[in-house]
Structure 1
Amino acid sequence: MKKQLTILTGILIALLFSFSSCQEMMVGPEVDNSNETNFRQMWEKFDSHYGLFLVKNIDWNKVYASHLPMAKAAKTDAELFSVLSSAVHILDDKHINIYTNSPALTDYNSGLNGHIPAQEDFDFKVVREKYLTEYHEETEDFIYGKLTPEIGYIHIESFHGEFSFYEKNMEKAITALSSTKGIIFDIRNHKGGSDLVSRHVAGRFASSKKLFMTSKKRNGPRHDQFEAPINWYVEPTGKSQYTKPVILLTTSTTISAGETFTFAMRENDNVTHIGTKTAGAFSDVIAQQLPNGWIITVGVGDYRGSDSKSYEGVGITPKIISENMKADVLKGVDKTLELALRRMD
């Protein structure tokens, strides 16, 4: 998820707990908390803000017509959750969530049957214990080191946090690995974060300025109303750039700002992309609390690659496909990493 979601969700959850602790002290107008109202408010929030109806060719009015009767007929929270989940599942968007704040109900993540499965084709513990010969951990999400005396390695799990953190630690990593003949940059479990960070980090490997992405956000009630597009360029950043060969590793769990980073890195002439295609969920999101306290997240943007194509719901396909098998990972073998090492020879 993008940083905006993290902040908004935190605020909403804080408000929710505040309300729960103070509700006996406060008296006000009764809120319409019917299942119908909760469905309508969710549908309306998507109708007015979601940025991908046209990209995905979704008839949202048809979804309303088919699901409103089901919402009216719902008798329990579980039945309402099923109706709301069914409606947003049609969008096939991994940035959509329904947080129920209920121990009796699960939360919902759109795509992949509504849930994010455990990653089986990558385990950083295998890389750390079986392959790294040098290892420096700035945080659990930011690690760099060496696989051999000549091959460097960087593993970043997210771009959440302050811009200055990545600026400072990328300088450390690039300096430490400057004498290597190549670097493997591993984002196979990247959770997203800030696009500004992804652009800066990719710029440490750039030798020229290139367009890598355009983005635009909904700003009106019609599904085709957007702000003017923003052009995103990758260009040299930091004190120096690493322009020797770099291999970028991704999987289907590489999401959001990890994917915009992939867009940027692929524009650098020295980068080769290996692994499996990314998650296909790029947009910034906003969050809203429904009358019953549940929180929904809504993607508001339309992000495109430098080729002007949308990769939402599709993902970015690597130049070289390589997928680890669960059985190999359990045995401590990372065949995709081994392929990348061979490519560096």
Structure 2
Amino acid sequence: MKNVKIFFESFKEYYLDFGLSNTDWNAVYESAISGVDATTSDEELFEIFYQAILNLNDTHVSISSGSIGTASINNKPVFWEVLLEEFMLLNNLGSTLPVELTQAANEYIDDSVNAFKQITASYAEEQSSITTFGDDALMWFQSSNIGYLAINKMAGLSPDLDLEGEIGQANTGINKALGELADTDALIVDVRFNNGGFDAVSMMYAKHLITNGGILASKEVSDHLGNMFTLNYELEPSSNAYTKPIFILTSASTVSAAEVFVLLMKSQPNVIIVGENTQGSLSDALEKSLPNGFKFNLSNEKYLSADGQWYEKSGIPADVEVPFLDYSSRQVGEDLAIEAVISLLD
């Protein structure tokens, strides 16, 4: 009983807003506690907690156990879920993937992602000019007078994930990329596969891409007593900031710190967002532990845009809506988002 009470009370005290999912958390608790007694096993308790968090449909909410594993559910399907559903549809598999086809499904997902990235790279003026940095954290090229810069992650640029090292590497990489793309007339910044990392890395990238400084976003956090604290994301453009038109490519696989990057960039007058709504999982994950060894994460922060908009769950909307990983366009070798940018510039 103690584990259940701590779990549910922690959410009640810290979770950012049950209204986002229209969840009656007290009712969820009453339902859960009715199925728990002294004989409840850890496996059964894990399932009870998982069923509880399903109500929230929140990417940053999870339950984990060293012996059982980790369970969570995304707010919106990310790329591998989209491609898994596509695989099952193409193979008439209904709603359940047979165990014997797991490897085939994984290979289909990997092959589809690689093929899509090759389609994107095919827009490069010269294939030999494609440059990568930081274990593919960044990738860039030029197509006629348009620059393309993929920012694929906001962490993992330094060997030990040291924050200062991450920021330093991000600074080095973005300076190198923008130095080579400085003479272009417009820039595509692709964060469609970026599932996040450090906000500080997002801020470093944004500094090199904004023209107007100031408070570009804010974050509100409340403690267990309900006291609210606000952190302003105040940035000034770097000396070599890119000042021409910028097109940010987004998808439901643009998550967490990648969404913070989009939030910062959204404030700029020369920026157009092209693609899909982002995941809608901007809040950081607050980690908690239970006496039985279980760990769980919950969302406890409220990120606001420069004009006070809150995009948790809904995701940051695109100015120009374009589907990501569209099957038919992949078959003919087109990246619809890049095609949309080309059309906008014509």
Taking structure 1 as the reference length, what is the TM-score of the superposition?
0.79
Report whether the alignment pairs 1:215 with 2:219: yes
Between the aligned partners of 1:80 and 1:139, the Cα distance in structure 2 is 41
Aligned residue type for 2:140: G
Matching residue of 1:61: 26
**Contact 1:214/1:232 (8 A) holds in 2:** yes
Deviation of the 1:149 alpha carbon: 3.3
- Structure 2, gaps ≥5 residues long: 84-111, 156-160
Matching residue of 2:307: 307
Aligned residue type for 1:95: H
**Contact 1:135/1:143 (8 A) holds in 2:** no
CA, structure 1 residues 196+304, in 2 after alignment: closer, same or farther (shift >3 Å)?
Answer: same
Matching residue of 2:71: 108
Matching residue of 1:254: 254
Deviation of the 1:139 alpha carbon: 2.4
For residues 168-317 of structure 1, what are the structure 2 equivalents within 5 Å?
168-221=172-225, 225-237=226-238, 239-317=239-317
**Contact 2:138/2:173 (8 A) holds in 1:** no
**Contact 1:281/1:315 (8 A) holds in 2:** yes
Greater shift in the superposed pair: 83-92 or 58-67:
58-67
Between the aligned partners of 2:191 and 2:221, the Cα distance in structure 1 is 26
CA, structure 1 residues 327+112, in 2 after alignment: closer, same or farther (shift >3 Å)?
Answer: farther
Matching residue of 1:99: 64
- Structure 1, gaps ≥5 residues long: 1-35
> More relative contact order in 1 or in 2 (CA 8 Å, sep 6+)?
1
CA, structure 1 residues 270+87, in 2 after alignment: closer, same or farther (shift >3 Å)?
Answer: same
Matching residue of 2:98: none
Deviation of the 1:330 alpha carbon: 5.5
From 67, 81, 102, the counterpart of 1:118: 81
| SS in structure 2 of the partner of residue 313 of structure 1 | coil
**Contact 1:212/1:267 (8 A) holds in 2:** yes
**Contact 1:204/1:236 (8 A) holds in 2:** yes
Between the aligned partners of 2:203 and 2:121, the Cα distance in structure 1 is 30
| SS in structure 1 of the partner of residue 313 of structure 2 | coil
Greater shift in the superposed pair: 66-75 or 84-93:
66-75
Deviation of the 1:57 alpha carbon: 5.7
**Contact 2:63/2:294 (8 A) holds in 1:** yes
Greater shift in the superposed pair: 266-275 or 118-127:
118-127
CA, structure 1 residues 73+274, in 2 after alignment: closer, same or farther (shift >3 Å)?
Answer: farther
Deviation of the 1:220 alpha carbon: 2.3
Between the aligned partners of 1:74 and 1:240, the Cα distance in structure 2 is 64
From 133, 136, 143, the counterpart of 2:131: 136
Deviations 1:52-85 (A, max 9, x none): 3466564432322221112338844443222111
Deviation of the 1:243 alpha carbon: 0.6
CA, structure 1 residues 245+113, in 2 after alignment: closer, same or farther (shift >3 Å)?
Answer: closer
Aligned residue type for 1:201: Y
**Contact 2:76/2:252 (8 A) holds in 1:** no
Between the aligned partners of 1:140 and 1:332, the Cα distance in structure 2 is 26
**Contact 1:207/1:241 (8 A) holds in 2:** yes
Deviation of the 1:211 alpha carbon: 3.2
**Contact 2:57/2:74 (8 A) holds in 1:** yes
Matching residue of 2:11: 46
**Contact 2:78/2:252 (8 A) holds in 1:** no
What is the root-mean-square deviation of aligned Cα atoms in Å? 2.7
**Contact 2:285/2:300 (8 A) holds in 1:** yes
Report whether the alignment pairs 1:153 with 2:157: no
Deviations 1:279-317 (A, max 9, x none): 001112222233333321122212122232321111111
| SS in structure 2 of the partner of residue 328 of structure 1 | helix
Taking structure 2 as the reference length, what is the TM-score of the superposition?
0.79
Deviation of the 1:262 alpha carbon: 0.7
Greater shift in the superposed pair: 276-285 or 208-217:
208-217
**Contact 1:95/1:283 (8 A) holds in 2:** yes
Matching residue of 1:341: 342
Between the aligned partners of 2:331 and 2:39, the Cα distance in structure 1 is 43
**Contact 1:55/1:310 (8 A) holds in 2:** no
Deviation of the 1:322 alpha carbon: 0.3
Deviations 1:206-230 (A, max 9, x none): 2222433221112124xxx133222
Residue correspondences, number: 304
Identity across the alignment (%)? 27
Between the aligned partners of 1:62 and 1:119, the Cα distance in structure 2 is 32
Between the aligned partners of 1:113 and 1:206, the Cα distance in structure 2 is 29
| SS in structure 2 of the partner of residue 259 of structure 1 | helix
**Contact 1:213/1:233 (8 A) holds in 2:** yes
